[in-house]
Amino acid sequence: MWIWVNLDPDRLPMEVKQAFGQKGAEFAISAVTVWETVLAAQKGRIKTVLTPEENARAWLKASPIRVIPIDEEIAILSRTLQFEHSDPADRFIAATAFHFGIRLATSDGQLRKLPWLKFVS
């Protein structure tokens, strides 16, 4: 959803838009989300005028968002929590949200099936 926030906010679900509008709300993304954004730009799935890495850095600089690094506990959780699929990036993102008790903003149907995750809804 971080890509949509930056490129096409109209695509955001209403509950996510409302969360962004809450006074004092804090937002965080996994470092993997930054990696996925650079990868998407490198593969041409998102179009930017900057290089993929310049684009990611510009979005980070312009946004009051905290980037959560991957640590050893998140790495362990990404492999030990019960998942329906094996996408490593999604596993890291879900493990990060779980570890910190953060509500996840996602439209990914497989992630939304995970009973141990909290969601922006």
Does 18 have pLDDT greater than 90? no
Provide the 8-state DSSP code for 101: T
- What is the secondary structure of 54-90 as a DSSP string? HHHHHHHHHS-EEEEPP-HHHHHHHHHS--SS--HHH
Q: Which domains does the chain have, with CATH numbers?
A: 2-6+14-112 (3.40.50.1010)
- What pLDDT, on the 0 to 100 scale, is given for residue 16? 84
Digit-coded pLDDT (tens) for 69-108: 999 999 999 999 999 878 999 999 999 999 999 999 998 9
Structure tokens at 28: 């965080």
- What pLDDT, on the 0 to 100 scale, is given for residue 21? 75
- What pLDDT, on the 0 to 100 scale, is given for residue 107? 87
Q: How many CB atoms lie within 10 A of CB 113?
A: 11
Nearest to 32 by CA among 73, 72, 68, 76: 68
Does 6 have pLDDT greater than 80? yes
Q: What are phi and psi of 96, to 5 degrees?
A: -65, -50
Nearest to 7 by CA among 69, 68, 71, 50: 50
Does 20 have pLDDT greater than 80? no
pLDDT tier for residue 19 given thresholds of 50, 70 and 90 = confident
pTM for the full predicted model: 0.89
- What pLDDT, on the 0 to 100 scale, is given for residue 23? 79
H/E element, 27: strand 27-30
Answer for the pair 37, 59: CB distance below 8 angstroms, yes or no: yes
Coil, strand, or helix at residue 26?
coil
Does 68 have pLDDT greater than 80? yes
- What pLDDT, on the 0 to 100 scale, is given for residue 105? 92
